[in-house]
Amino acid sequence: MSYTYDYPHPAVTTDIVVFTVENDTLKVLLIQRKVAPYKGQWALPGGFVRIEESIDACAGRELEEETGVKGIFLEQLYTFGDPNRDPRERVISVSYYALMPLDDVDIKPGTDSADVGWFDVDTLPTLAFDHEKIISVARDRLTAKMNYSTVGLMFMPEEFTLSEVQSLYETVSGGSRDKRNFRKWLLALGIVEETGEKKVEGAHRPAMLYRLKDKTDVMIIK
Amino acid sequence: MSYTYDYPHPAVTTDIVVFTVENDTLKVLLIQRKVAPYKGQWALPGGFVRIEESIDACAGRELEEETGVKGIFLEQLYTFGDPNRDPRERVISVSYYALMPLDDVDIKPGTDSADVGWFDVDTLPTLAFDHEKIISVARDRLTAKMNYSTVGLMFMPEEFTLSEVQSLYETVSGGSRDKRNFRKWLLALGIVEETGEKKVEGAHRPAMLYRLKDKTDVMIIK
DNA sequence: TCAAAAGTGTTAAGACTACACCCATGT
DNA sequence: ACATGGGTGTAGTCTTAACACTTTTGA
């Protein structure tokens, strides 16, 4: 079957930048391409928008199909459309980004991808298409948002300690923060609460565990 | 001539939201459609992306063709792609927005538009497609940016008085501001300078005229 | 008892807010 | 001389930044 139009139409894809934090480094989720072009190279998960599917739905579907990650909150980032960004045909890519705790979902390659993995954003392999550029824009947006919202908490698992949150903020937005001021700030926001449990780990005083009061409510502007 | 693909392709358009301020009201630039669908109705300027043209270039070209406005700074806003937003076929729209001083360019309808005009954003006519939604998103973005950047100055003509800037800020982001504090804030940013001229207008003390030190440099974050 | 991270308040500096009167001009 | 918008400084409040020691635990 084929589809005919009076004027040339571009193809439209979504590409998804998923960030996480592991061992005090910011990482991004990549897949290894199984097909040409850029066969064997690493790329962002993503794919073509179906004709009866919304762009948001496409992003969620492609992410799940190619990496096994599902149900995370995706936000539209930017639309890239330079005429030669894809060697096959004119392709316009609507990019999305998301943040997730590392242990939330098991990642596994789909049928279109040979492999899936987390990569340190500062030492990425050579990437397919203009995906390096897309990741760079996503990272800038993330860094900016860290400074005027509570997005950072989307990296945290169900339960966490205040020191873990601080360490995460230091990793993602760079620089170090004063421990007392950081805790005052976070607690004053009123979006976390003590679980009553403690995290025992190593030869030192155990830390109080906290959780988000309302999981969806992350995003309050400072 | 026709164009054939193995899979269905959506069409891609740009739509441009141009804001200005006139008589203490925020206005948006609309065109009246000359052709179906929504023939005779008001809509955002915009049109189909050509196959060898970047999306940014398309936005600039369509704006000029349909309204006569050219050379203004366009920023990508959001990509709208609900499957049924256009009755003809699947159309994905990459939206842009811009701010301009009212007297900068003469607006004139192009060949595809019956008329062009500025409309008060609070009392818009019924609009074609989902353009009301697009304007609403653009307005939210504008209002937000007014609070952490100096975008507002993009509404000003070459030379302006401080009272005019203040009045503009009050119009766009709502509420009134203290005159002395507003002037202190704006002057402390160091992005405007006196021209040495004064604006004589009516039976009162003439106001000092100012200009931007660096026209491109607007956008400093507070 | 030592090492290691958790936890906890106060003070100083800077930013923001509120506020009222005189000035230059045209009629 | 009066009506109109232009122009100017200070004091109080609130916010942010800097800073160091005690606690709890495991080894």
pLDDT < 50 positions in chain A? none
Q: Tell me how far apart the alpha carbons of residues B159 and A31 are, in angstroms, rounded to a whole number.
A: 53
Enter the DSSP assignment of B23: T
Q: What is the torsion angle, in degrees rounded to the nearest 10, for the CA atoms of residue A162, residue A167, residue A172 and residue A177?
A: 90
pLDDT at residue A104, as a whole number: 74
The model's pTM: 0.95
- The reply to whether A100 falls in a domain is yes
Mutate to test the interface with B, among A9, A49, A140, A222 (most CBs of B within 10 A): A9
Separation between Cα atoms, residue A169 and residue B162, nearest integer Å: 40
Does residue B172 share a domain with residue B72? no
Residue B3 covered by a domain: no
Please check whether residues A160 and A142 belong to one and the same domain: no
Summary mean pLDDT of chain B = 94
pLDDT of residue B215: 79
Domain of B176? 151-212
Q: Is the distance from CB of A13 to CB of A93 less than 8 angstroms? A: yes
Q: Are residues A126 and A174 in the same domain?
A: no
Are A87 and A178 within one domain?
no
Instruction: Please give the protein residue whose CA is closest to the C1' of the nucleotide D5.
Output: B204
pLDDT digits (tens, 9 = 90+) for A73-91: 999 999 999 999 999 999 9
Does A9 lie at the interface with B, CB-CB under 8 angstroms? yes
Q: Are residues A26 and A114 in the same domain?
A: yes
B128, B199: one domain: no
Residues A30 and A137 in one domain: yes
> What pLDDT sits at residue B218?
64
Q: What is the pLDDT of residue A6?
A: 97
Q: Are residues A127 and A57 in the same domain?
A: yes
Domain boundary among B146, B168, B194: B146
Return the pLDDT at A105. Answer: 82
Of A6, A10, A76, the CB nearest to B9: A10
Closest nucleotide (C1' vs CA) to A198 is C6
Paired tokens of B97: 């927005």
State whether residue B91 sits within 8 Å of chain A by CB. Answer: no
User: Would you call A55 and B79 a contact, using CB atoms and an 8 Å cutoff?
Assistant: yes
| Per-residue model confidence as pLDDT tens digits over A171-188 | 999 899 999 999 999 999
Interatomic separation, CA of residue B52 and C1' of nucleotide D11, rounded (Å): 63
Q: Which of residues 153-182 of B touch strand D (CB under 7 A)?
A: 161-163, 179-181
Do B114 and B160 sit in the same domain of this protein? Answer: no
CA B163, B168, B169, B173 torsion: positive or negative?
Answer: positive
Q: Is residue A217 part of a domain?
A: no
Q: How far is B88 from chain A (nearest CA, A)?
A: 12
In a domain, B37, yes or no: yes
Same domain for B64 and B39? yes
**Residue among A2, A79, A148 whose CB faces B79 most closely:** A79
Does any domain span residue A136?
yes
Beta-strand pair B11-22/B91-99: parallel
B106: left (phi over 0), alpha (psi -120 to 50) or beta: beta
Distance from CA of A53 to the nearest CA of B (A): 6
Q: Please report residues of A whose CB lies closer than 8 A to that of B9.
A: 3, 5, 9-12, 51
A3 occurs within a structural domain: no
Chain D positions within 7 A of any protein Cβ atom are 3-10, 16-20, 23-27
Which of B52, B55, B81 has the CB atom closest to A55's CB atom? B81
Q: Which nucleotide is nearest to B198 (CA to C1')?
A: D6
| pLDDT score, position A110 | 92
At residue B220 the predicted structure's pLDDT band, cuts being 50, 70 and 90, is low
Per the structure block, which two tokens stand in for A48?
């073509």
Task: Please tell me the predicted confidence (pLDDT) of residue A16.
Answer: 98
Q: Which two tokens stand for residue A1?
A: 């079957």
State yes or no: pLDDT of B158 exceeds 70: yes
CATH (domain of A26): 3.90.79.10
Tell me whether residue B116 is in a domain: yes
Mean pLDDT of B135-139: 98
Which residue has its C-alpha nearest to nucleotide C23's C1'?
B205
Confidence band, pLDDT 50/70/90 cuts, at residue B216: confident
Residue B138 reports pLDDT greater than 70: yes
- Looking at beta carbons, which residues of chain A come within 8 Å of B8? 3, 51
Q: Which tens digits make up the pLDDT trace of B18-71?
A: 999 999 999 999 999 999 999 999 999 999 999 999 999 999 999 999 999 999
Residue B217: pLDDT band by 50, 70, 90 thresholds?
Answer: low
Check whether B87 has a pLDDT greater than 70: yes
Residue A100: both structure tokens together? 């997730």
CATH code, B194: 1.10.10.10
- Contact: A10, B49; criterion CB under 8 Å: yes
Tell me the C-alpha distance between B126 and B128, whole Å: 7
Nucleotide nearest to B194 (CA to C1'): D7
Across the interface, whether the CB atoms of B9 and A6 are under 8 A apart is answered no
Neighbours of B201 (CB within 10 A): 9
A90 part of contact set with chain B, CB < 8 Å: yes
Tell me which nucleotides of strand C come within 7 A of a protein CB: 3-10, 16-20, 23-27
Asked if strand D comes closer than 7 Å to B202 Cβ, the answer is: yes
Tell me if B2 is assigned to some domain. no
User: In angstroms, how far is D20 C1' from A159 CA?
Assistant: 29
Q: Of B131, B146, B161, which one is at a domain's C-terminal end?
A: B146
Q: 10 Å Cβ neighbour count for B87? A: 10
The total of structural domains in chain B comes to: 2
A31 and A125 inside one domain:
yes
Which residues 139 to 178 of A reach strand C, CB within 7 A? 161-163
Q: How confident is the model at residue B148 (pLDDT cuts 50, 70, 90)?
A: confident
Q: Which two tokens stand for residue A208?
A: 């109080």
Is A94 in contact with B90 (Cβ distance < 8 A)? no
DSSP string, A54-66: -HHHHHHHHHHHH
Among A103, A120, A146, the domain boundary falls at: A146
Residues A44 and A113 in one domain: yes
Q: How far apart are CA A94 and CA B78, in angstroms?
A: 9
